[in-house]
Structure 1
């Protein structure tokens, strides 16, 4: 696939648009649909490639294009370095992933939580929801440009941006416990930094009382390590 456009949404959030007509034609788009991107990792060898997972955004079947969004972490890492240095015309290798998550039948509320690395996946959830399902989005972030970040909004949904206090996820978990009450038709999804996800997962189980099949969580990166 070939880079055809680069958009700096904010100084720390970059969207890269790729042209890949054959790949787009083969895509089945669903919430959190993602691919594996192979990128150079010179710290592991001159020709070493590392893989990172990214959620599809802005898929255009007519043009055969799609976007991937990158958080440009302050910590050095192969994906961030690659995204910063990317240029129109660069070619990358990818692999599709078939994993799919579906809402349980009868769900009426979905709680979506994470940091901004989860934002593309959260937006993909909201974009796909039936009108009968309310989305409640909670994102922990300690920057001042969140109003410039992409956010899919619908009537009846709510978005809350929570300032980080203490360890990652502590403020988010506290906010969730105060703002979200258990419901019989509830589903919860979370992603982001590992410690943050651990705190949110505890809320899902202990506070909301959700059982297997009613929630999903996955960490994308670990603070202090080379981020995706």
Structure 2
């Protein structure tokens, strides 16, 4: 009889989706099943998982900020969906990364114990490419939730001038989530409590013609900033890409 401990069996998060799942499907969502290939934990509260993307890269253009809805299973077996950016897609291997800033919640609980072989259902139902209309400059406004999208955009946009403003919610955020450094990129974290909308409006007012603005904050400041960009600064709607990345409970 073997005395060694048995290896943990792969887990699959494939919950009942209920009404929410029916709505996503009605909106045209397409389903995938992702499989964890490798796990990395650069910081205590930050996990990066490389996953097999189930053929996604052969069927779709995974532009910077491209995201998937992941379906997490609650203790009752119901579905709980959250959106995560596909980071560092690799067409040669058909893989990409998902990054989790850990906090209390079902999605973070899944990521804390995710291991190679584990699977999770996902749905493609995406937004718009922030690089559409060939911007001369890209201004990105976000926080820890949208950090993966901002960092990946900085890595993947070559020499495109980018200004990135991120609102810190914890003094440790800049250390946990360092931003890439490259030529043509002006990136900074705003202090916790600093008015991110005011800072962003000031940055946009000073930006060159042909700037695209990408906004991905909590729901309230996202709506405030997107509205102000159009009403106060007169930006055309095709130059403003806004999506609330999270909502306060």
Q: Shorter-chain TM-score: what band?
A: 0.7 to 0.9
CA 1:63–1:105 in 2, change beyond 3 Å: closer, same or farther? closer
How many residues are aligned here?
214
Any gaps of 5 or more consecutive residues in structure 1? none
Counterpart of 1:49 (choices 71, 75, 79) is 79
Shift in Å at residue 80 of structure 1? 1.7
Is the contact made by 2:144 and 2:173 (CA closer than 8 Å) also made in structure 1?
A: no
Preserved contact between residue 216 and residue 245 of structure 2 (Cα < 8 Å): yes
The corresponding residue for 2:107 is 79
Q: Distance in 2 between matches of 1:32 and 1:145?
A: 20
Select 2:196's aligned residue among 165, 169, 172: 172
Whether 1:217 aligns to 2:245 is no
Q: TM-score, normalised by structure 1?
A: 0.81
Q: C-alpha displacement at 1:179, in angstroms?
A: 3.9
Once the two structures are superposed, residues 37-77 of structure 1 have per-residue CA deviations (whole angstroms, 9 ceiling, x without a partner) of: 111022xxx2212222111112222233211011212xx32
- Residue 27 (structure 1) shift: 4.1
Distance (whole Å) between structure 1 residues aligned to residue 131 and residue 153 of structure 2 = 10
Q: Is the 8 A contact 2:201 2:229 kept in 1?
A: no
Match in the other structure for 2:163? 136
Residue-by-residue CA offset, 1:187-223 (whole Å, 9 max, x unaligned)? 1111021123234324423554312111111112112
| Structure with max Cα Rg | 2
Match of 1:110 among 131, 138, 144: 138
* 1:98 CA drift (Å): 5.2
What's the secondary structure of 2:50's corresponding residue?
Answer: strand
Name the counterpart of 2:73. 40
- Looking at structure 2, the residues matched to 198 and 100 of structure 1 have their Cα atoms a distance apart, in angstroms, of 17
Per-residue CA deviation, residues 99-145 of structure 1 (Å, 9 max, x unaligned), is 432535352121100111111222333344363x3100000003224
Question: How far off is 1:184 after superposition?
Answer: 2.7
Greater alpha carbon shift after TM alignment, 156-165 vs 17-26: 17-26
CA RMSD of aligned residues (A): 2.4
> What is residue 58 of structure 1 aligned with on the other side?
88
State the alpha-carbon separation in 2 of the partners of residues 195 and 98 from structure 1: 21
Q: Is the 8 A contact 1:30 1:100 kept in 2?
A: no
From 27, 32, 37, the equivalent of 1:4 is 37
User: Could you state the TM-score of these two structures normalised by the residue count of structure 2?
Assistant: 0.75
**Structure 1 runs, 4 residues or longer, greater than 4 Å off:** none
Distance in structure 2 (CA, Å) of the matches to 1:177 and 1:69: 28
